[in-house]
């Protein structure tokens, strides 16, 4: 409506008023009544989910559990469109890949921790990925080809009908919003055999914005003077706010809650104005070409400034600097130049500033009118363009005297498409909390202006994921996915200007900066966090450029060794070498991109960099780069475990406890992620290094709270202490670290009557041990120790015990259990805002958390506080980290004991 001159821009339209039409039948009113916290209309004219008999396919405790719907006969579309005048935005959902259902450990854990399938919602949620893609509206055929090649209109290539070959085009309905949903409906019907069900544009915009602000942790950010700062929004303090959607025209919407909003104003001077006038005045052929042109402009050649009026001086009495624009295009009045005499670059910049300032000022005045302090700007006019955001931010700040704040959204152009996607019945997305969505880095090579940013990727330069290149049915490739031709960016070929120096940064790009959203219904906030709202996992903040540069250098130097291990893990084949080389170039390209724009992928911490590396490895099908090394080190460590246990048993309890902690610290030296430790491996065997490390365990350590921990464990004098009920031991590396360090410590806790849960990674990362590897390690260790054997049987870890856990529990009732839980991640670090349901359930009765290793206890969570006692153990294997955290040196030890946080 923004561009319609026949309607006033301040017309108010409330959603509630739509349902009050007296001519509607009662049945229609009932059908449109909201069924959840969202008041969006839920259509019943499309196939519905039949959830009867729903069950987990495989194991419930998989990170992304697949829900089997045995009575579902229709494929459910997981695609929605926002078809605008300039761009088509797609949001589509892809199911996760199936995994083996023969995981006895997870079934055992499910029984042990009392995890149920439907304890949080009445219908299942499909785990998978939410993707964002855009096309120019003028390239509609490419968009249709993309949908067809991936079978998105039929539920995707992973749908039951695609696998069975029983596809049908009958009654396929796709949700769509925007003017093109009406204009191009016939094209979709003729080309794809689908009907477009139109959703109200304002409904979709608001629903999309609300969802993103709740679900994505660092969705909103401010942008002032070229500096981007992410803002964490408190869900309880989100409403009300002003949503300013800048498309061809501008709509300003006051949002009071889910499904509660009213359009309070707007202006017909928006993105269409900029593009239309710009095209006439500069002859640019695309919106982004016009934006790029503005980067080289000087608006003072066209705009009349305050200094032009006052002889170069400020008008300080009313707070106007000499560089303030007094009149846009005002300088052209008194000159005799023709249009051809003005530089197109200057015209473009002057036009951009005029429209951006105007939008910023009108937005603030409407926020002032309703007493709103928070203004969110969205729409593809912004395009992540730094100068546009700075201009809008300046206008809001100037007119509000700093009282109001302009904020922008990373998925700014996809609000309508997301809202349309959410209008499908019973997808459940509007019920999900932020921690259930994990935003992964975009794994495609970092495109900017159709070129790879950083080292070229050769024949892999289109995309990293092969499933994005080809549609596979069994082993037969049936249809290629159209890829971006040279000179364009990403699937769909939407052109973007280059990014060099001070030129355009396309932060809104789906290919470059918007990561795929992984929907993981089994992720939860760790229940033992003292204050989840203030919790920040990253200890190292990379906002300082020097700090950023240092860690990028560390990762780059470690890259050749990592590639060697990855290739070796795949047998050193030619294919593995090719993928290893491509991984190295792709990861280097991402590092180069982040060096230029650290906030390109969201808020960046050291943990994010380490996660990026692991995600990139997995995208190149390196599932476990250190598998052979881990197996070799486990075998070597298990061979000497009996002698260590015998040695420990000969000690008194005080000496034994100290030796155990020394053993954990000494064994933590085995970290293939540390350059210093990699060098050590060339100087001796794993056992020789371990023994050398133990001999050098001289107290006091750099951080030494052992005496506090000993007092809590053993008491003092005549004081007796109650043993811990349940301890969660977050283990780190394979080999000596787990076998000679953490397992003996777990054994001591078990000896004292404490239940022990070994918490390990869900996916491999470096040489870290995984939850699936632990039962085998425990089983081998249990051959030499009755304490471990009985506890493992009670915890269902031994193979025979997994078959009938209830019978074994009766037989081992006199033993406290030793259990295993996955943490839900595949990184050397851990974010306690996103842990598996298995781990969350394991926190019941837990009163001790032990974090071991640099990644979990230093890189992340060094400052974390918990509701229970916490012990943080690590050997510092990086000189800079030693200086930053403990004011010490490499190989210093940290033993930090923190009593339960008082709430």
- DSSP assignment of 242-277 equals EEEEESSSEEEEEEEETTEEEEEEEES-SHHHHHHH
According to the model, what pLDDT value does residue 424 have? 79
Choose between 802 and 863: higher pLDDT.
Answer: 863
Choose between 825 and 873: higher pLDDT.
Answer: 873
Q: Is the pLDDT of residue 769 over 50?
A: yes
Sign of CA dihedral 363, 366, 372, 376: negative
According to the model, what pLDDT value does residue 395 have? 92
According to the model, what pLDDT value does residue 177 have? 95
Tens digits of residue pLDDT in 715-735: 987 778 899 999 999 999 999
Spacing of C-alpha 903 from chain mean position: 30
Percent of the chain with pLDDT strictly greater than 70? 70
Q: Answer whether 105's CB lies under 8 Å from 818's CB.
A: no
Distance CA 298, CA 302 (A): 8
Residue recorded with tokens 């942008």: 223
Residue 109 binned pLDDT confidence (cut-offs 50, 70, 90) = low
Q: Is the pLDDT of residue 813 over 60?
A: no
Range with top average pLDDT, 514-518, 812-816, 891-895, 898-902: 891-895
Percent of the chain with pLDDT strictly greater than 90? 40
Helices 627-649 and 653-667 cross at an angle (nearest 10°) of 160
Q: Is the pLDDT of residue 592 over 60?
A: yes
In this prediction, residues 160-180 reach a mean pLDDT of 70
In this prediction, residues 57-61 reach a mean pLDDT of 33
In this prediction, residues 723-749 reach a mean pLDDT of 96
According to the model, what pLDDT value does residue 25 have? 38
Residue 159 binned pLDDT confidence (cut-offs 50, 70, 90) = low
Residue 494 DSSP code: B
Confirm or reject CATH 1.20.1700 for domain 545-619, answering yes or no.
yes
According to the model, what pLDDT value does residue 612 have? 85
CB burial of residue 312 (10 Å; 0-12, 13-18, 19+)? exposed
Question: For 16-163, where are the E strands, in sequence order?
Answer: 55-57, 66-68, 79-83, 87-95, 128-136
According to the model, what pLDDT value does residue 432 have? 58
Q: Please indicate whether the domains covering 221-410+465-512 and 545-619 agree at the CATH topology level.
A: no
Phi, psi of 293, deg, nearest 5? -60, -40
Q: Which of 202-211, 275-284, 500-509 has the lowest mean pLDDT?
A: 500-509
Residue 56 binned pLDDT confidence (cut-offs 50, 70, 90) = very low
In this prediction, residues 414-442 reach a mean pLDDT of 70
The strand pairing partners of 727, in sequence order, are 756, 848
> Going by C-beta distance under 8 Å and a sequence separation of 6 or more, which residues neighbour residue 152?
77, 78, 79, 90, 92, 146
Q: Which of 154-168, 181-195, 737-751, 854-868 has the lowest mean pLDDT?
A: 154-168
Choose between 665 and 158: higher pLDDT.
Answer: 665
Q: Is the pLDDT of residue 490 over 60?
A: no
Distance CA 777, CA 265 (A): 65
Residue 96 binned pLDDT confidence (cut-offs 50, 70, 90) = low
Residue 457 binned pLDDT confidence (cut-offs 50, 70, 90) = very low
Tens digits of residue pLDDT in 624-658: 999 998 998 899 899 989 999 999 999 999 999 99
Q: Is the pLDDT of residue 810 over 70?
A: no
Q: Is the pLDDT of residue 436 over 80?
A: no
Distance CA 497, CA 91 (A): 24
Distance CA 695, CA 705 (A): 20
Closest CA to 625 of 559, 688, 713, 702: 559
Domain boundaries, the chain: 21-97+121-211, 221-410+465-512, 545-619, 628-898
According to the model, what pLDDT value does residue 718 have? 75
CATH pick for 21-97+121-211 out of 3.40.50.970, 3.30.420.40, 3.90.650.10, 3.30.1360.120: 3.30.420.40
Residue 514 binned pLDDT confidence (cut-offs 50, 70, 90) = low
Tens digits of residue pLDDT in 5-43: 334 334 344 444 444 444 443 343 333 333 333 333 333
Helices 415-422 and 201-215 cross at an angle (nearest 10°) of 90
**CB under 8 A, 24+ apart: contacts of 43-47:** 43/173, 43/175, 43/197, 43/423, 43/424, 43/425, 44/425, 45/173, 45/197, 46/77, 46/171, 46/173, 46/197, 46/424, 46/425, 47/74, 47/75, 47/76, 47/171, 47/173
The CATH code for residues 221-410+465-512 is: 3.30.420.40
Average pLDDT, the chain: 76
CB burial of residue 111 (10 Å; 0-12, 13-18, 19+)? middle
Q: Which of 167-181, 423-437, 558-572, 665-679 has the lowest mean pLDDT?
A: 423-437
Closest CA to 755 of 693, 818, 807: 818
Distance CA 279, CA 269 (A): 15
Q: Answer whether 61's CB lies under 8 Å from 102's CB.
A: no
Q: Is the pLDDT of residue 608 over 90?
A: no
B/e letters for 6-25, b = 16+ CB within 10 Å, e = fewer, are eeebeeeeebeeeeeeeeee
CA distances from 391 to 359, 406, 732 (A): 10, 10, 48
CATH pick for 628-898 out of 3.40.50.880, 3.90.79.10, 3.40.50.720, 3.40.50.10880: 3.40.50.10880
Q: Is the pLDDT of residue 758 over 70?
A: yes
């Amino acid at each position: 409506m923004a561009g319609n001159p026949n309607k006033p821009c301040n017309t108010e339209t409330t959603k509630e008023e739509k349902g009050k039409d007296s001519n509607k039948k009662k049945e229609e009113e009932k059908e449109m009544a909201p069924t959840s916290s969202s008041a969006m209309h839920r259509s019943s004219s499309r196939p519905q989910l039949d959830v009867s008999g729903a069950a987990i396919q495989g194991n419930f405790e998989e990170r992304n559990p697949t829900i089997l719907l045995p009575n579902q006969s229709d494929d459910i579309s997981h695609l929605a469109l926002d078809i605008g005048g300039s761009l088509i935005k797609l949001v589509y959902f892809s199911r996760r890949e199936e995994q083996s259902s023969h995981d006895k450990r997870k079934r055992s854990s499910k029984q042990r921790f009392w995890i149920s399938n439907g304890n949080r919602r009445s219908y299942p949620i499909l785990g998978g990925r939410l993707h964002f893609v855009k096309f120019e509206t003028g390239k509609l055929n490419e968009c249709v080809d993309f949908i067809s090649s991936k079978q998105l209109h039929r539920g995707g290539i992973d749908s039951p009908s695609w696998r069975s070959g029983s596809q049908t085009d009958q009654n396929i309905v796709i949700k769509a919003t925007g003017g093109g949903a009406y204009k191009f409906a016939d094209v979709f019907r003729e080309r794809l055999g689908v009907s477009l069900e139109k959703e109200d544009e304002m409904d979709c915009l608001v629903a999309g914005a609300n969802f993103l602000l709740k679900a994505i942790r660092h969705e909103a950010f401010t942008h002032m003077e070229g500096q981007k700062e992410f803002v964490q929004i408190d869900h309880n303090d989100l409403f009300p706010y002003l949503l300013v959607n800048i498309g061809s025209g501008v709509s300003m919407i006051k949002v009071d809650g889910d499904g509660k909003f009213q359009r309070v104003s707007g202006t017909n001077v928006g993105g269409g104005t900029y593009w239309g006038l710009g095209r006439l005045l500069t002859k640019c052929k695309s919106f982004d070409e016009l934006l790029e042109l503005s980067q080289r402009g000087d608006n003072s050649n066209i705009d009349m400034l305050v200094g032009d009026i006052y002889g170069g001086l400020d008008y300080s009495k009313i707070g106007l600097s000499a560089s303030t624009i007094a009149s846009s295009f005002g300088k052209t009045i008194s000159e005799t130049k023709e249009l051809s005499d003005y530089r197109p670059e200057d015209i473009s910049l002057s036009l951009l500033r005029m429209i951006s300032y105007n939008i910023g000022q009108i937005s603030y005045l409407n926020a002032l009118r309703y007493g709103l302090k928070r203004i969110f700007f969205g729409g593809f006019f912004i395009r992540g363009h730094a100068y546009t955001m700075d201009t809008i931010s300046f206008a809001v700040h100037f007119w509000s005297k700093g009282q109001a704040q302009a904020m922008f959204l990373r998925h700014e152009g996809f609000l309508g498409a997301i809202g349309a996607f959410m209008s499908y019945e019973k997808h459940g997305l509007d019920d999900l909390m932020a921690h259930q969505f994990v935003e992964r880095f975009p794994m495609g090579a970092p495109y900017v202006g159709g070129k790879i940013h950083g080292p070229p990727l050769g024949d892999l330069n289109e995309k990293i994921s092969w499933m994005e290149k080809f549609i596979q049915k069994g082993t037969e490739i049936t249809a290629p996915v159209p890829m971006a031709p040279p000179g364009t960016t990403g699937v769909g070929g939407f052109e973007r200007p280059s990014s060099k120096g001070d030129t355009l940064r396309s932060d809104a790009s789906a290919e470059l900066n918007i990561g795929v959203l992984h929907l993981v219904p089994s992720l939860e906030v760790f229940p033992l966090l003292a204050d989840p709202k203030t919790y920040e996992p990253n200890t190292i903040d990379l906002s300082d450029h020097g700090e950023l540069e240092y860690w990028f250098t560390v990762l780059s130097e470690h890259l050749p060794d990592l590639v060697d291990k990855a290739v070796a893990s795949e047998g050193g084949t030619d294919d593995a070498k090719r993928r290893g080389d491509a991984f190295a170039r792709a990861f280097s390209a991402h590092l180069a991109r982040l060096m230029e724009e650290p906030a390109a992928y969201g808020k960046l911490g050291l943990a994010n960099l380490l996660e990026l590396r692991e995600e990139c490895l997995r995208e190149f099908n390196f599932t476990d780069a250190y598998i052979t090394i881990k197996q070799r080190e486990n075998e070597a460590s298990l061979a000497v475990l009996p002698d260590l246990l015998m040695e420990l048993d000969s000690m008194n309890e005080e000496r034994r406890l100290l030796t155990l902690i020394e053993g954990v610290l000494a064994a933590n030296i085995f970290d293939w992620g540390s350059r210093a430790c990699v060098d050590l491996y060339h100087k001796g065997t794993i056992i020789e290094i371990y023994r050398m490390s133990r001999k050098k365990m001289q107290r006091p350590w750099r951080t030494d709270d052992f005496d506090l921990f000993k007092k809590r464990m053993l008491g003092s004098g005549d004081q007796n202490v109650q043993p811990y009920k349940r301890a969660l031991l977050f283990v780190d590396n394979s080999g000596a670290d787990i076998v000679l360090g953490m397992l003996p410590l777990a054994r001591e806790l078990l000896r004292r009557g404490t239940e022990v849960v070994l918490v390990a990674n869900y996916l491999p990362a470096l040489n870290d041990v995984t939850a699936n590897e632990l039962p085998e390690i425990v089983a081998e260790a249990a051959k030499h120790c009755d304490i471990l054997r009985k506890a493992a049987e009670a915890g269902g870890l031994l193979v025979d015990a997994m078959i009938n856990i209830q019978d074994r529990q009766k037989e081992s009732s006199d033993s406290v259990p030793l259990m295993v839980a996955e943490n839900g991640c595949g990184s050397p670090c851990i974010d306690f805002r996103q842990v598996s349901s298995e781990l969350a359930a394991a926190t019941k009765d837990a009163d001790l958390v032990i974090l071991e290793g640099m990644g979990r206890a230093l890189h992340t969570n060094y400052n974390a506080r918990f509701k229970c006692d916490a012990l943080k153990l690590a050997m510092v294997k990086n000189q800079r980290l030693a200086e930053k955290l403990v004011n010490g040196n490499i190989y210093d030890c940290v033993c930090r004991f923190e009593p339960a946080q008082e709430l």
